[in-house]
């Protein structure tokens, strides 16, 4: 009898305490600086996941962008990262700045294309990328995809990395440095219509330096993830005609070890609430299930594959993990 009373009392205590609280999964998204598109895009994704995926609380983190985001996801300091496609390939295969170390990442979704935007003031007289020799420039912050892409382009064009003085500034800092005259050229790899260049163009006459057909051919021959694109005229004040440049797709990566069910839920929420993301930036129009299989530069996570198959989208063998 005594044992029954004790057990009954324990049951009453547990009942009074109520059900165990649901476990919260915290997700950190590695983005970039505040002067580009990664940060507001990542903030929008975090809001969608927090609101529509039960038990998930997501937050966008300011980081050094692509290269750093691959390293952070690999180490587990973040689990999601916004990354340029060329950097994703290098991290996955252990190439270039990853120095032979393959990182444990997979593709989760395709975001939108970046355009390389080489900016100078018209009064500088610089009209060709090869004129940066001997000049003061910013090739993007250390650890960023912009810096990675800029140096890849310079290498393809035979521009020595020690032939210019590089401040390696963030997007906002590059715009301010151009405004102040402390650099001659600033480089952005970002979706067109980025706030830092838009703001600069409202106060100064800017030039976006295009690539010649010969330069484009050399760059594409050296970098298979790049494509020839045009920056449309009218995006920035004073840049009225299309500018021939180089493009690369952005990819949302995740830790290879992330639970398939969790990634499935995240991807499902992302695609089904894309309309909200497009209110934050129109580039989110490119974030589609079809583009995931068309442009992903590295294999997809099983959770993404599950969602795509559910939607009747065939996943090619090269994107299977």
Contacts of 97 by beta carbon, 8 Å cutoff, 6+ apart: 67, 90, 148
105-121 vs 185-190, strand pairing mode? antiparallel
Mean pLDDT across the chain, nearest whole number?
92
Does the pLDDT value for residue 13 go beyond 70? no
Residues 88 and 319: their CA atoms lie apart, in Å, by 13
The confidence score (pLDDT) of residue 21 equals 54
Average pLDDT of span 168-190: 97
The CATH class, in words, for 25-112+251-319 is alpha beta
Among 13-22, 245-254, 309-318, the least confident range = 13-22
Contacts of 299 by beta carbon, 8 Å cutoff, 6+ apart: 92, 106, 107, 318, 319, 320, 321
Does the pLDDT value for residue 11 go beyond 90? no
Per-residue pLDDT band for 295 (boundaries 50, 70, 90) equals: very high
Contacts of 193 by beta carbon, 8 Å cutoff, 6+ apart: 235, 236, 282
Domain assignments of the chain as residue spans, ordered by start: 25-112+251-319, 114-248
**Superfamily for 114-248?**
Periplasmic binding protein-like II (3.40.190.10)
Share of the chain above pLDDT 90, in %: 89
Q: Which two tokens stand for residue 239?
A: 């840049």
* Cα 161–chain centre separation: 24
Does the pLDDT value for residue 12 go beyond 80? no
The confidence score (pLDDT) of residue 6 equals 35
Does the pLDDT value for residue 7 go beyond 90? no
The confidence score (pLDDT) of residue 4 equals 35
The confidence score (pLDDT) of residue 9 equals 37
For 195, the enclosing helix (H) or strand (E) is helix 195-203
Read off the pLDDT of residues 230-241 as tens digits, 9 standing for 90 and up: 999 999 999 999
* DSSP E strand stretches across 122-154: 136-138
Average pLDDT of span 210-219: 98
**25-112+251-319 shares its CATH topology with 114-248:** yes
């Amino acid at each position: 009898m005594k044992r029954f009373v004790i057990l009954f009392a324990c049951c009453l205590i547990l009942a009074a305490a109520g059900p165990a609280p649901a476990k919260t999964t915290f997700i950190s998204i590695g983005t970039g600086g505040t002067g580009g598109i990664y940060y507001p895009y990542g903030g929008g994704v975090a809001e969608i996941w927090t609101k529509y995926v039960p038990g998930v609380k997501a937050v966008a983190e300011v980081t050094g962008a692509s290269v750093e985001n691959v390293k952070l996801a690999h180490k587990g300091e973040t689990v999601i990262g916004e990354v340029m496609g060329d950097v994703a390939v290098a991290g996955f295969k252990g190439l270039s700045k990853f120095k032979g170390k393959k990182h444990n990442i997979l593709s989760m979704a395709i975001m939108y294309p970046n355009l390389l935007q080489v900016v100078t003031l018209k009064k500088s007289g610089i009209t060709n990328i090869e004129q940066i020799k001997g000049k003061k420039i910013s090739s993007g912050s250390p650890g960023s995809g912009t810096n990675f892409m800029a140096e890849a382009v310079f290498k393809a064009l035979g521009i020595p990395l020690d032939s210019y003085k590089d401040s390696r500034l963030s997007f906002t800092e590059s715009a301010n440095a151009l405004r102040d005259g402390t650099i001659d050229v600033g480089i952005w790899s970002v979706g067109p219509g980025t706030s830092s260049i838009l703001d600069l163009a409202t106060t100064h006459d800017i030039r976006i330096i295009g690539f010649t057909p010969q330069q484009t051919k050399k760059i594409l021959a050296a970098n298979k993830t790049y494509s020839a694109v045009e920056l449309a005229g009218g995006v920035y004040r004073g840049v009225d005609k299309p500018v021939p440049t180089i493009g690369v797709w952005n990819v949302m990566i995740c830790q290879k070890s992330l639970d398939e069910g969790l990634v499935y839920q995240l991807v499902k929420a992302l695609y089904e609430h894309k309309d909200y993301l497009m209110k934050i930036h129109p580039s989110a129009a490119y974030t589609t299930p079809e583009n995931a299989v068309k442009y992903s530069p590295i294999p997809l996570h099983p959770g993404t594959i599950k969602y795509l198959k559910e939607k009747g989208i065939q996943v090619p063998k090269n994107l299977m993990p």
